[in-house]
Structure 1
Amino acid sequence: MAHRIITQIVLTGGRVFGKAFAEAYKQAQASSQYAKAAAKSDPGSLNTAAASGMTLDEACKILNVKPPQGGVANMEQVMERFKKLYDLNEPKKGGGGSFYLQSKILRARERIEMEAKAAERKAALEKEIKEGWKPKMYRD
C-alpha cells in the first residue's frame, strides 16, 4: 500500500515539474526571439537595457517622469524625483522604506541618465558629421 502512495507522489511531482520546465522553456524561447527582433531594429538599445537591468519605460514609471522627447530628458526633474523618492524609502529612518526600493529608484535614475548621455553623444556625432571634422590647430 505504501509503495502505491509513493509511486503516485513521484508521478504527480514528475508531471508538475515537467509542465513547469516546459513553460519555462517556452518563455525563454519567446524572450530570445524578442531580443533578436529588438537587436535588429535598434542594436544599441539592448545593451543599455541589459546594463541597467530595466527598460526606459519602466525607469520613467518608477520616477514618475515623462520619457525623453527627441532624446532630451529633463534631468532636473529626474534628479528632484530621485532625491525625494530615495529619501522617502530610507530604511534607517523607520518610514517603511526598503533597500530594494532604493535600489530600483537608483537604477531608474541611472537608466534615464544613460539614455540622455547616449542621445547627447548621438547629437554631437550628427553635428560633427553635418559641419565636418575640424581638427584643432596649434600655432607655435
Structure 2
Amino acid sequence: MAHRIISTVVLTGARVIGRAFAEAYKQASASQRYAAAAAKNGGTSQSANFTSSGLTLEEACKILNVPPPKGGKTDMEAVMTRFKKMFDTNEPKNGGSFYLQSKILRARERIELEVRQAEEVAEQKKEAEEGWNPKVYKDR
C-alpha cells in the first residue's frame, strides 16, 4: 500500500514539474521573439533600456506620479521626494509590500536612466559643436 502512495506522489510531482518547465520555456521563447522583433523594428537602444529596467518611461512616471522628462530634463528633487515617501510607506516591516517597494525603486532607476542618457547626448552634442578641448597640465 505504501509503494502505491509513494509512486502516486512521485508521478504527480513529475507531472507538475514538467508542466512548470514547459510553461517557463514558452515564456522565455515569447520574450526572446519580442526582443528580436523590437530590435528589428529599429528600437535597439529603446528596447535595450526597456529590458534592462523592466519598465517603460511612461510606466515609471505613472508609478511615481511625476511628469515625464521633457527634453531629458526633469525635477529630480521631486522624483526623489516622491520615491522616498512611497518607498518608506511600503516598508514590509510596517505592513507594506516588498513587490511595490521594488516597483517604486525600478521606476526611480528608469527615470534616472533616461535623464542620464539625455545628459550624455547633450554633452556629446556640445563637444561636437565646440570641438575637443583637452586639459593640459604644465610641469613647473
TM over 0.5: yes
Report 1:10-29 matches (<5 A).
28=30
The Cα offsets for residues 29-82 of structure 1, whole Å up to 9 and x where unpaired, read as 9835751355x1x43211111111111111000000011000112100100000
Describe the SS at the equivalent of 1:124: helix
Match of 1:61 in 2: 62
- 2:105 counterpart of 1:106: yes
Percent identity of equivalent pairs? 56
In the alignment, the residues of structure 1 paired with residue 35 and residue 84 of structure 2 have an alpha-carbon distance, to the nearest angstrom, of 36
In the alignment, the residues of structure 1 paired with residue 115 and residue 49 of structure 2 have an alpha-carbon distance, to the nearest angstrom, of 11
The Cα offsets for residues 84-123 of structure 1, whole Å up to 9 and x where unpaired, read as 11111112113xx100000000000000001111111111
User: RMSD across aligned C-alpha pairs, in angstroms?
Assistant: 2.3
Structure 1 residues without counterparts, runs of 5 or longer: 1-20
TM superposition outliers: structure 1 runs of 4+ over 2 Å = 28-34
Match of 2:53 in 1: 52
Match of 1:17 in 2: none
| Paired positions, count | 114
On the 8 A contact 2:39/2:47 being kept in 1, the answer is no
Write the letter of the residue equivalent to 2:137. Y
Q: Cα 1:103–1:72, aligned 2, differ >3 Å: closer, same or farther?
A: same
**TM-score under structure 1 length normalisation:** 0.72
